[in-house]
Amino acid sequence: MRRGEPKPALETAIGSVRLSNPVMTASGTVGHGTELARYLDLSELGAVVVKSLAPYEWPGNPPPRVHPIPAGMINSVGLQGPGLPRWLAEELPVLAEAGARVVASIWGRTLDDYAAAADLLATAGSPAMEAVVAVEVNVSCPNLEDRGRMFSHSAAMTRAALTATEACGLPRWAKLSATGDLVEIAGAAVDGGASALTLINTLLGMVIDTEARKPLLGAGGGGVSGRAMGPVAVRSVFDVYAALPDVPIIGVGGIASGADAVEMIMAGACAVQVGTATFADPRAPAKVLRELARWCTAHGISRLDDLIGAAHE
């Protein structure tokens, strides 16, 4: 933007959650706390979405865990994390001190795990909890009670996982994968109490080590992310917005520029998350925000609301 030009109003509302701008980090790509703080001002982002946390410490998958692919990466980190109790005590206060608006991401292997995670958030007595504006419920996890199928592969289990987290007392966003009848599963998440939808999680994939004649990653398959999945994410957001226009959507997948964010917002997202791009450039979320503002100014867009769902008009 040129000096003196009016700045576009980038404020956005995700249900009851109001953010100063629509750009967030994506869960799993920026750690559990202030790892990115040396590269950008976390308080300038719409929110910081932390890596998914279980109600207990979890070691994750065996190495190798990450491998580059054309236009992205594949990972099988396996949701390694310190667990919610330790995060609440050690990491959240540092994020709050940095002025970040925080979205806590939770996961579990059973419905009881989801309920336990919600209870831990509800009973946390730390003043730092004031920084937590929402809870992202990651249902792209193996369900031990259903032969290891992903919760998000079933409308019924997605609804049940969201219902199990009701006690957290905060707005809940359901993070879904592009699998099965996504519109049906999105509707089930809303029925379970989700006030917004995060679309989409990584896509299932695999890389074969042709010399060893076996999967390259230690856990076999993994999740594909990065620019290559951008069109899949845009289509997912577009279809769900068309079917559920009153449900706020956070678009994630392949966003590395302001133009990418604009495309996702036109598809129907009221906010976006920047993930894999931060591995190449830790300043990527701030870059996307600056470029989004410049795009709006160059195209005469004074309010973000004028862009949301524009591709459906």
**CA quadruple 23, 29, 32, 38: dihedral positive or negative?**
negative
In a domain, 215, yes or no: no
Structure token digits, residue 78: 């396996």
Residue 68 sits at φ, ψ, to 5 deg, of -75, 145
- β-strand partners of 142: 150
In a domain, 210, yes or no: no
3-state SS class at 56:
coil
- Number of domains making up the chain: 1
The reported pLDDT for the residue numbered 126 is: 85
CA 115: distance to chain centroid? Answer: 20
**CA quadruple 106, 110, 111, 113: dihedral positive or negative?**
negative
In a domain, 287, yes or no: yes
The answer to whether 141 is a known catalytic residue is yes
In a domain, 67, yes or no: no
The reported pLDDT for the residue numbered 2 is: 55
Distance (Å, whole) CA 27 – CA 55? 16
The reported pLDDT for the residue numbered 146 is: 66
* Nearest residue to 304 via CA among 262, 248, 249, 273: 262
Residue 299 sits at φ, ψ, to 5 deg, of -105, 15
**How many other C-beta atoms are found inside a 10 Å radius of the C-beta of residue 2?**
6
In a domain, 149, yes or no: yes
Residue 175 sits at φ, ψ, to 5 deg, of -95, 120
Domain span including residue 92: 12-60+78-202+234-312
Question: Under 8 Å CB-to-CB from 258, ≥6 apart: which residues?
Answer: 287, 288, 289, 290, 291, 292, 293, 294, 295
In a domain, 39, yes or no: yes
In a domain, 30, yes or no: yes
What DSSP element (H or E) covers 156? Answer: helix 155-164
In a domain, 66, yes or no: no
**How many other C-beta atoms are found inside a 10 Å radius of the C-beta of residue 71?**
14
The reported pLDDT for the residue numbered 179 is: 84
Exposure on the CB side of residue 47, measured as CA atoms within 13 A: 27
CA distances from 214 to 62, 66, 189, 211, 289 (A): 15, 16, 37, 8, 41
* Nearest residue to 292 via CA among 37, 1, 26: 1
3-state SS class at 271:
strand
**How many other C-beta atoms are found inside a 10 Å radius of the C-beta of residue 180?**
15
Distance (Å, whole) CA 1 – CA 7? 8
Say if residues 50 and 33 touch (Cβ distance below 8 Å): yes
Say if residues 32 and 60 touch (Cβ distance below 8 Å): no
Residue 170: what residue type?
A: L
Domain with residue 196: its CATH number is 3.20.20.70
C-alpha radius of gyration, the chain, whole number: 18
Successive 10-residue mean pLDDT values, the chain, 313 residues: 72 98 96 92 97 96 94 92 96 97 96 97 93 96 73 93 97 94 97 98 95 95 93 98 98 98 98 96 97 97 97 94
Would the pTM of this model clear 0.85, i.e. be above it?
A: yes
